[in-house]
Amino acid sequence: MSRIHPTIMSMNIKAVVVLSGGQDSATALALAVRRHGAPGVAAITFSYGQRHSVEVKYARRLARRFGIAEHKVVKLDFYAELTTNALFDPAAKIERRKGSHCPTTVVEGRNAFFLLAAAVWAKSLGATEVHIGVSEADFSGYPDCRAAFVRAQTRAIRLALDYPIRVVTPFMRMTKADEWALAAKLGILGIIRHETVTCYNGVPGDGCGKCPACFLRNRGYREFLRKEGRGK
Secondary structure (DSSP) of 174-193: --HHHHHHHHHHHT-HHHHH
- What pLDDT is stored for residue 186 in this prediction? 97
Q: What is the pTM of this model?
A: 0.88
Q: Which long-range contacts (CB under 8 A, 24 or more apart) does 173-176 make?
A: 173/135, 173/136, 173/137, 174/135, 174/137, 174/138, 175/135, 175/137, 175/138, 175/220, 175/223, 176/23, 176/138, 176/216, 176/217, 176/219, 176/220, 176/221, 176/223, 176/224
Instruction: Sketch out the chain's domains with CATH numbers.
Output: 6-228 (3.40.50.620)
Give the residue-averaged pLDDT of 77-92.
73
Q: Is the pLDDT of residue 204 over 80?
A: yes
pLDDT at 6 over 50: no
Residue 133 pLDDT > 80, yes or no? yes
Least confident of 23-27, 51-55, 139-143, 210-214: 139-143
Which residue did the predictor score with more confidence, 93 or 98? 93
Task: Kindly indicate the confidence band of residue 5, based on its pLDDT and cuts at 50, 70 and 90.
Answer: very low
Q: What's the average model confidence in pLDDT over 175-195? A: 97
Burial class (CB in 10 A: 0-12, 13-18, 19+), 16: buried
- pLDDT (mean) for 190-203: 94
